[in-house]
C-alpha cells in the first residue's frame, strides 16, 4: 500500500509541510477532524507542482480564525456561505480550509443548499475524480487516503472524469475548470465527460454560472505556470468572456508574461520563493481598461491577491526610486537593498523597468554579483580556522563579500590580509591519553617500545609525561602542527587588525589567552 504521508512529505516544500503541521496542530487542539483534499492531493500523487493546500475540516473553520492568526497566519478572506477560510500560512503558503459539506442544487443557476456533512459526503460533491480524494491528518487514521471514485486510477490514466452526469449542470464553472485543467496537465476529458461537456456547451449551461464561481476562476489564473496557454484555451472554448466580456488573449501582454515566467524561474533557481500571481494578473490584463480591471478585481474572493495586484506598480516604483538614490550608491548597498526587498518586487521590476540604472542593478544582483561570492577564499579561511563554527563568521563572510563587491579588496592577497586578523587562536591540543595499568597497558608497551621511549627520556621531576597509548609519533606530529602554525601566524599578524582600505569593516574578535603547551610536547622538545 502506498505511503501517502511519505509521498506528501517529500513532495511538499518545507514551508508547505510546516503549514500542514501547523493546521494539523490547530485542528487537533480544536478537536476537529482534518483532511488534506482536492488539488493538493491530486498534485502530490501526480507529481505536478503543489500550488496551494486545500484542507477540509468536519466543523466550522471560520471559528479557527483567531487560532490561525495567533500562529502567524494571515487571513486573506473568507466565504461565509461555504464556510471557507482563505489563508496565507507562514512562508507565503497559500491555503484554504473549508467545511466538510454537501451541496444540493435545487434549481439551475441558484446557489446550492449547503449542509455540514461527513468527509465521505463532501467528496461526492466535487468536480472531477482526481480532485475527489482526501488524506486523513487525524490521529489513528493519519495517512489513510479516501478515494471513493478511484481518482488515483484516473491520475495514472491521465483523465479528467466528472463524478456524475449532472456535474456541469449543477456547477457550470466546472466547464471552465475542465478546460483549465486540460490545458495545464494536457489530460483529455474522459469520453462520457467530453459528451457531457459538449452537451453543456450546446445547451448554454454557462449562462447559469454563479458570480462567486466566476471570481474564484479569475483568481485561479493568477497561479498557473503557463497562464497564457490557459487563457488561450479558455478563449478557444469561449469561456474567457464569461470571466469578463472584454477579456481576450489580445488584451494580454504576451511578451511581458513570457519574460515574467522566465525571470521567475531564474529567481527560483537562485533559491527564492516568489509568488508571481500579482504580476501575472498585471500582464494578463495589461490592455484592459481600468474599469474592466476594477470589475475583475471586485469579484476575486482573496483580498491578498486583490491588494498585491492593485499595489504592484506603486510598490515597484518605490523600489525603483530607492535603487536610483543614495541608498543604492554602491554595489554593496544595492545588494543590501535588494536582499531586503520582496522577491515579488524584484521580479516585477526586472521585467518592467525601462530605466537603465534600475534594470542594470537588478541584472547585476541576479547574475554578476553572485559570482563575486566565488572570490571569497573559503579554503584559506578554513586554514585560518575562520569557519561557520565561529560566532562572528557570518559577519566576517558578509564583510568580505561586501568589500569584494565594492572593489575594495582587489586581489587575493588583499583579501587574505583582511581576513588574517580574524583568525582565532588554534585550539589547545587534546589531553594526552591516560597511562594505562594492568595487563593491557603492559602489552601495548611491549609491542610499542618506541612509544614509551620519549616518556622515559623525559626527566621532569614529579609526574612524568603520560605515555600515548598508540601511534605516538603521528599523534605528537599532528599535535605539534597547529601549535607551530599558530606561532608562525602570530608572527605574521599585523599589529593593527584591519588594513586601512577596509577600516569600516568588521573588527576582529578579542582572542582568548593562549594556553600552555601540553606535557607531551614538552617531553618531545627536551628530547630534541
Q: Which residues bind ligand CTP (CB under 6 A)?
A: 38-39, 51-52, 54, 126-127, 131-132, 171, 173-174, 177, 213, 220
Nearer to ligand CTP, 45 or 346 (CB): 45
C-alpha cell recorded at residue 494: 599585523
CB 94 to ligand CTP: min, Å = 9
What is the distance between the alpha carbons of residues 392 and 354, in angstroms, rounded to a whole number? 41
CB 24 to ligand CTP: min, Å = 19
CB 80 to ligand CTP: min, Å = 17
Which of 134, 141, 234 is CA-nearest to residue 182? 234
Asked if residues 357 and 331 have their Cβ atoms less than 8 Å apart, the reply is: no
Tally of CB atoms within 10 A around 279: 29
Nearer to ligand CTP, 35 or 418 (CB): 35
Q: Given strand 33-37, what is the order of strands in its sheet? A: 74-79, 84-89, 93-99, 53-58, 33-37, 134-136, 145-146
Tally of CB atoms within 10 A around 384: 18
What is the distance between the alpha carbons of residues 498 and 146, in angstroms, rounded to a whole number? 65
DSSP state of 160: B
Nearer to ligand CTP, 59 or 331 (CB): 59
C-alpha cell recorded at residue 126: 466535487
* All residues at 6 or more sequence positions from 195 whose CB lies less than 8 Å from its CB, including other chains: none
CB 178 to ligand CTP: min, Å = 10
Asked if residues 358 and 323 have their Cβ atoms less than 8 Å apart, the reply is: yes
Nearer to ligand CTP, 216 or 521 (CB): 216
Asked if residues 95 and 107 have their Cβ atoms less than 8 Å apart, the reply is: no
CB 308 to ligand CTP: min, Å = 17
C-alpha cell recorded at residue 325: 538614490
Nearer to ligand CTP, 154 or 479 (CB): 154
Which residue lies nearest ligand CTP, judged by its C-beta?
39
The secondary structure of 328-394 as a DSSP string is GSSHHHHHHHHHHS-HHHHHHHHHH---HHHHHHHHHHHTHHHHHGGGS-HHHHHHTT--TTSTTHH
CB 145 to ligand CTP: min, Å = 14
CB 146 to ligand CTP: min, Å = 12
CB 237 to ligand CTP: min, Å = 16
CB 2 to ligand CTP: min, Å = 20
Amino acid at each position: 500500500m502506498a505511503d501517502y504521508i511519505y509521498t506528501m512529505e517529500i513532495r511538499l516544500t518545507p514551508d508547505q509541510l510546516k503549514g500542514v503541521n501547523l493546521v494539523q496542530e490547530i485542528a487537533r487542539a480544536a478537536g476537529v477532524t482534518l483532511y488534506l483534499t482536492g488539488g493538493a492531493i491530486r498534485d502530490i500523487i501526480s507529481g505536478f507542482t503543489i500550488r496551494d493546500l486545500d484542507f477540509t475540516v468536519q466543523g466550522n473553520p471560520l471559528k479557527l480564525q483567531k487560532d490561525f492568526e495567533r500562529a502567524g497566519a494571515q487571513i486573506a478572506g473568507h466565504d461565509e456561505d461555504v464556510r471557507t477560510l482563505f489563508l496565507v500560512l507562514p512562508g507565503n503558503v497559500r491555503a484554504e480550509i473549508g467545511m466538510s459539506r454537501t451541496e444540493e442544487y435545487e434549481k439551475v443557476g441558484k446557489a446550492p443548499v449547503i449542509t455540514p456533512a461527513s468527509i465521505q459526503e463532501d467528496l461526492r460533491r466535487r468536480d472531477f475524480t482526481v480532485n475527489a480524494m482526501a488524506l486523513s491528518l487525524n490521529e489513528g487514521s493519519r495517512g489513510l487516503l479516501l478515494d471513493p471514485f478511484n481518482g488515483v486510477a484516473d491520475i495514472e490514466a491521465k483523465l479528467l472524469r466528472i463524478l456524475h452526469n449532472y456535474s456541469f449542470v449543477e456547477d457550470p464553472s466546472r466547464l471552465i475548470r475542465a478546460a483549465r485543467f486540460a490545458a495545464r496537465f494536457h489530460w483529455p476529458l474522459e469520453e462520457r465527460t467530453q459528451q457531457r461537456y459538449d452537451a453543456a456547451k450546446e445547451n448554454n449551461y454557462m449562462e447559469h454560472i454563479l458570480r462567486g464561481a466566476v471570481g474564484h476562476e479569475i483568481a485561479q489564473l493568477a497561479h498557473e505556470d503557463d497562464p497564457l496557454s490557459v487563457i488561450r484555451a479558455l478563449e478557444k472554448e469561449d469561456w474567457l468572456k464569461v470571466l469578463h466580456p472584454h477579456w481576450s488573449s489580445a488584451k494580454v501582454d504576451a511578451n511581458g508574461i513570457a519574460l515574467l515566467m522566465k525571470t521567475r524561474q531564474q529567481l527560483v533557481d537562485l533559491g527564492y520563493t516568489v509568488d508571481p500571481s500579482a504580476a501575472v494578473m498585471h500582464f494578463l490584463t495589461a490592455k484592459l481598461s481600468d474599469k474592466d480591471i476594477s470589475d475583475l478585481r471586485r469579484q476575486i474572493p482573496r483580498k491578498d491577491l486583490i491588494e498585491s495586484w492593485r499595489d504592484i506598480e506603486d510598490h515597484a516604483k518605490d523600489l525603483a526610486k530607492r535603487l536610483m538614490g543614495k541608498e543604492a550608491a554602491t554595489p554593496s548597498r544595492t545588494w543590501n537593498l535588494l536582499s531586503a526587498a520582496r522577491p515579488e518586487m524584484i521580479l516585477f521590476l526586472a521585467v518592467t523597468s525601462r530605466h537603465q540604472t534600475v534594470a542594470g542593478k537588478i541584472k547585476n544582483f541576479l547574475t554578476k554579483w553572485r559570482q563575486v561570492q566565488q572570490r571569497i577564499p573559503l579554503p584559506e579561511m578554513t586554514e585560518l580556522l575562520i569557519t561557520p563554527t565561529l560566532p562572528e563568521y557570518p559577519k566576517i563572510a558578509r564583510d568580505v563579500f561586501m568589500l569584494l563587491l565594492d572593489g575594495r579588496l582587489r586581489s587575493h592577497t588583499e583579501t587574505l590580509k583582511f581576513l588574517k586578523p580574524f583568525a582565532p587562536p588554534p585550539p589547545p591540543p587534546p589531553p594526552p591519553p591516560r597511562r594505562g595499568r594492568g595487563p593491557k597497558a603492559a602489552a601495548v608497551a611491549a609491542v610499542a617500545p618506541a612509544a614509551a621511549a620519549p616518556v622515559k627520556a623525559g626527566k621532569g621531576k614529579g609526574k612524568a609525561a603520560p605515555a600515548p597509548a598508540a601511534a605516538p609519533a603521528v599523534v605528537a606530529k599532528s599535535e605539534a602542527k597547529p601549535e607551530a602554525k599558530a606561532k608562525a601566524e602570530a608572527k605574521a599578524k599585523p599589529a593593527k587588525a584591519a588594513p586601512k582600505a577596509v577600516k569600516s569593516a568588521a573588527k576582529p574578535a578579542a582572542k582568548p589567552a593562549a594556553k600552555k603547551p601540553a606535557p607531551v610536547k614538552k617531553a618531545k622538545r627536551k628530547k630534541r
